[in-house]
Amino acid sequence: MDIRKISVGPDYKGGAMHYLVGQSVLNDTYKIHLIKFAPEAGAIRIYIINDKQEVVLWKEFNHTIPLAIEYNIDY
């Protein structure tokens, strides 16, 4: 299943950071391209893409940080 959104932090509504596929980041120079679980690291990784179609790993969160994960649900 594809991950659509993650929320990082203990307070989902008040203090968590929310990352959504397609969201602009870094002063609108990149967009979130992919959010993926990396089983070998036990972590969630966020990849971003720029206008030149260069994809880079931007952030990684492991199990020590509270996470809420939302998946794409296609019917």
Tell me: the pLDDT tens digits for 14-69?
Answer: 889 999 999 999 999 999 999 999 999 999 999 999 999 999 999 999 989 899 99
Residue type at 40 in one-letter notation: E
DSSP-derived secondary structure letter, 42: T
The span from the CA of 62 to the CA of 75, in Å, is: 30
| pLDDT at 73 (0 to 100) | 85
Split at pLDDT 50, 70, 90, the class of 74 is confident
The span from the CA of 35 to the CA of 62, in Å, is: 13
pTM over 0.75: yes
